[in-house]
Amino acid sequence: MRPTALSPLLQYMAAPDTDDHARLFILQCVNDILTPYYLPDIKPMLESEDQVIRAIGVTAISTIEDPAVVPLLKEARQDDRPRVAFSALSGLAMQGDEDARQEMTRLYVENETMGDIPEIQIKREVVRALVRDAQAEDLPLLKDALNQPWVEVNYRAAIVRALGRLGAEEDIPLLEESLDLQNEDAYGKLVRQAIESIQERQGQA
């Protein structure tokens, strides 16, 4: 028997008469806790005639770790609607597809857009995709994004954690500078921990 606690929410999210803002709110609430058990609830969204529902369905499966996800994302990558295709590209990057990660980096660096998707939305999604499992080669982009005012709070924190794990002593001023944009106690503690991790790692080198 598969878990069904989130199924009513996913079904509501897929309903044709559901408001787009409600869909996005539900997606933000559940996206990081979805498991392969919920794929049957999400798959119908990928076949919807509504591009918004398709794009949300693609985003919903992007964080699910299951062999069935990548083929679904590759199929969605061929969608003729830019928002759906871009969501699929982001999903493939999150799934570790190297070509997708490189393409996301290129979009960020070259300030490119896709269809009617605003440049800032592109950049936010690139950060979201790459910081999920950040690698050393992602650091230049993530450092550029850290102190941008358009970066969302949770992804700024994720960048800090990535720098704590992979960064160097030269990145410490950048981390300290980020406190000017976000000075909550929890964020300050996170920055201090990242700096300490860098200093410990440098001391062991």
Average pLDDT over residues 200-205: 75
Is residue 136 classed as helix, strand or coil in its secondary structure? helix
Give the residue from 56, 115, 104 showing the smallest Cα distance to 80.
Answer: 115
Name every residue whose Cβ is closer than 8 Å to that of residue 156 and which is 6 or more positions away in sequence: 146, 178, 181, 182, 187
Average pLDDT over residues 108-128: 92
Lowest mean pLDDT among 31-40, 121-130, 152-161: 31-40
**What is the pLDDT confidence band of residue 205, given thresholds at 50, 70 and 90?**
low
Question: How is residue 6 annotated by DSSP?
Answer: T
State how far the Cα of 110 lies from the Cα of 133, in Å rounded to an integer. Answer: 22
**What is the pLDDT confidence band of residue 1, given thresholds at 50, 70 and 90?**
very low
The whole-number pLDDT of residue 138 equals 96
Q: Is the pLDDT of residue 182 over 50?
A: yes
The count of residues in the chain is 205
Query: Crossing angle, helix 39-46 and helix 69-76, to 10 degrees?
Result: 10
Average pLDDT over residues 134-138: 95
**35-64: pLDDT as tens digits:** 999 999 999 999 999 999 999 999 999 999
